[in-house]
Amino acid sequence: MSKTYRGLTRTQIAKTLDHSVLKPNASYTDVTVGAKVALDEDVASYCIRPMDVAVAHEVLKQSEVPVCTVIGFPHGSTTTATKVFETQEAISLGATEIDMVLNVSALISGDLDFVEADIAAVVSAARESRESIIVKVIFETALLTNEQIITACKLTEAGGADSVKTSTGFATAGATLEHVAMMKSCVGDRLKVKASGGVRTLDQVVDFIEAGASRCGTSIAAEILAEFDSKAV
């Protein structure tokens, strides 16, 4: 019988984790090592910078670990046309999951039609490239009010994306249980929720799962799974 921690198996935890290497000072070696971690731990996806998609794809192409990349990262302020091009290029290089940053400035300014159109353009570009591409939309919740977070959830759904995501990991704060629960309450089972930013322990991952997240972004997937190995019974 499989060991569990707080009712979850190692596989269930691993398949929640999007292992990430996104820091601007990450070296080529860091990216390759990260891909091998994603492969060895059989995580939900390997999330990397657009420049690293081809390398990640080469390491993971014989596995079931998807290559995920970030679009308009980290501020969401690139133009829609730029986000569309980034998306198309990333998919051509092997990405099958897209985590785009919504235009935070436009959202805060109340230009909601633009925010929705920005999301919809990326979704359209992804689906035209390959119907099965998953698109997640990053909000940067630390910069938003609760009302703006709810609005962002509604715009993400209207734009046709698959998932809402809390944070880039580069703002003043990352995911919180309050925000994840709020986002889950808004999108229900229609969209998925990803907690990201500051996810560094096994208990955090389980807490976020219990709050409604189906994915957790982290740069230390191996350490979290090693913690599982030491605590599971």
Instruction: List the catalytic residues.
Output: 99, 165, 194
Q: Which are the contacts of 83, defined by CB distance < 8 A and separation ≥ 6?
A: 71, 72, 100, 118, 121, 122
The tokens for 205 are 């991952």
SS3 224: helix
Kindly tell me the sign of the dihedral angle through the C-alpha atoms of 153, 38, 176, 71. Answer: negative
C-alpha torsion sign, points 46, 51, 57, 60: negative
Q: How many other CB atoms are found less than 10 A from the CB of residue 228?
A: 22
CA distance 10 to 116: 37
In this structure, how many other beta carbons lie within 10 angstroms of the beta carbon of residue 62? Answer: 8
